[in-house]
Structure formats: C-alpha cells, structure tokens
Amino acid sequence: MLIYLSLGAVCTVFTWIVIILYRHTAVVKASDFMLSQMFLLGILMCMSTAVSFAAPVSMLNCSVGFIWFCTSVVFIVSIIFVKTNRVSRVFESGFVKSFKTRVYLSYQGPAILVVFLTVIQIAICFIANYFDPIQVNRLVISEDIVYLQCRSNTRIGYAIAVGYFSVLCICCVYWAFKTRKLPENFCEAKYINFTSLIILMSLLTMVPSYFGTAGPIQAAISSFGIITLALAILLCMFSPKLYIILLHPEQNTRENAIADIANYSFNQVGTPITSRQKLVHVGRTTPAISPNPSEVLEMTPEISKERIN
C-alpha cells in the first residue's frame, strides 16, 4: 500500500511542478492556475486518507478518517463544480459585468466558493459525529479472531455526508453537459463528465464494500480504493494538459486558443469558418453570447482581477 501511495504522490507532485513551471502558457491559464493548484492539493488530501484507513482502529482514527475522507472528496468535487459553472457563466454572459460574473472572474471568488462548499461538508460531518458519534465495536468472528470496527448507531451521518457530495457530482455532470460545446481548453466537459462518473461509481462500490467487510480486508479495500480514485481523477483531469504541454507545445499557444474561441463564436451565429479564417475573423464583432476571443483568453484570475477593478 505504501508503494502504491508513494507512486500516486510522486505523480501528483510531478504534475504540480509542471503546472507551476508552465503557468504562463495558454493551457494552464485557460484551466485557471489557482484552481488547478487547489485541485492537486485535493488529490493529495484524498490519497492521504488511505493512511487513516490503514491505521490501527481507534475512536480518534475513526473520526479523523471519516471527516478527512468526506472533506477531501467534497473539496475535489467543489473545484470541478466551480470550474465548470464559472466557464459556463462567462461564455453565456457575453462579459456583461453583472455581480455574479464579477465574482466568478475575480481572483478570490472561485476559491472562496470552493472553501464555502467544503465547509458545509465539514459542518455536516462534525454535527453528525456529535449527535451520532463513531464508536469502536468488537466483531467476534471466532474464539481466535476478533476485529475492531468503526461504527455509529444510526449511520445517518454517513448517509448525509455521502449524499451531499453525490449531489455535487450530479451537478458537475449537468454543468459539464451544458458546456460540452465550448472550446475544449476551457470547458473540459468530457473529462469532467468522466471524472464525476468515476467518483459516483467509486462511492457505489467502496461504501458497500467498507460496511460489508471487516479487519484487514476492509482496510485494504478502503485504502487501495481511495488511492485508485485519486489517481483516476489525476489522470482524467491533468493527463490531457500534460500531453499538450510536454509533447505538443506548438498547440500550447495563445494563437491556438484564440482560434478555438473564434471558431466557437462564429459557430454560435451559424457561420462556420475554416482553420485559415479563424484568426482573420478574431477582430470582428460578434453577438453578446459570443465573447471576444482575446478577452476570453485573458479572463484568467491573474488578469481579470485588474480588468474588473
């Protein structure tokens, strides 16, 4: 388990270093540099949960493992939700500076919303643990085999916590479907859809397996399941970026991103254009629903902070 966890941590740290080194390129800017860092932090948090599940059973480990797992998963799902929701609002608003648009384009706005959604889950976990505390129960298999288990009386806290981030996952699927036609660098719709489905399927398999097993088998299933979930999220959301950054740097340019946005803008008004015409039409006026390509590319938190103020 430690080897598997170390491999996942190394892959995550490597991805984080690449994102930092190429933070000024079009691909990283389009995916929001700050949210990408928070995303990678959430993946590391999710991996670290495996340690608490593999640790000796105690009331402290049971409570910390439950809260930490729910917090890390909701943190990741909240970032996906905010990223997709933000891009959808930006393209639909046509850059009309409404209050909601200003919040989503500000430097702190998306991060604050992610923290807010995560704090709700933390509050749910603490309240559930207060009214229905997790206890250590003895499961007697035979005279020679006795397992210790983390259990609560009603398991309502587990149900509410799992239900909360399941709803967030469903919302992510909805927003990903809604933004599926936007330029790929900005919406990542198919990757978000796949990631959200992976999280939902993991919950459907891990939760019953956790409550249906005991002892070393329970610890192994939980630990390996969580690490696999984190690696799957890392692969779905960041491997396409690493592929372009490291293997096809010619696509990681401002001009290429502007061409994609221009093609989207003119398709919105029913005027299909060829690849040669993309850059020629960038300066023309488009309807409110199709924002100026240069503005979209520059509407990253680092730049939008100055623009909005």
Between CA 295 and CA 68 the distance in angstroms is 39
Closest CA to 145 of 98, 195, 214, 196: 214
Pair (241, 292) in one structural domain: no
Q: What is the CATH number of the domain that holds 141?
A: 1.20.1070.10
Task: Say what the pLDDT of residue 119 is.
Answer: 94
Pair (147, 111) in one structural domain: yes
Q: Which residues contact 132 (CB under 8 A, 6 or more apart)?
A: 152, 153, 154, 155, 156, 157
The tally of domains found in the chain comes to 2
Q: What is the pLDDT of residues 153-212, one digit of tens each?
A: 777 877 888 889 888 888 887 877 776 666 555 556 677 777 878 888 887 888 777 777
The residue among 251, 268, 292 that closes a domain is 251
Pair (17, 46) in one structural domain: yes
Task: Say what the pLDDT of residue 20 is.
Answer: 93
Pair (243, 259) in one structural domain: no
Domain boundaries, position 154: 2-251
pTM above 0.95, yes or no: no
Pair (260, 223) in one structural domain: no
Pair (124, 226) in one structural domain: yes
Pair (258, 247) in one structural domain: no
Residues of the chain with pLDDT under 50: 95-96, 265-266, 269-309
Pair (246, 296) in one structural domain: no
The residue among 207, 226, 251 that closes a domain is 251
Distances (CA, A) of 210 to 57, 141, 216, 232, 278: 14, 17, 11, 20, 53
Task: Say what the pLDDT of residue 189 is.
Answer: 66
Pair (65, 191) in one structural domain: yes
Pair (37, 163) in one structural domain: yes
Q: Token pair for residue 175?
A: 């927003």
Pair (161, 277) in one structural domain: no
Q: Which residues contact 128 (CB under 8 A, 6 or more apart)?
A: 152, 156, 157, 158, 160, 161
Task: Tell me which DSSP letter residue 243 carries.
Answer: I
Pair (240, 282) in one structural domain: no
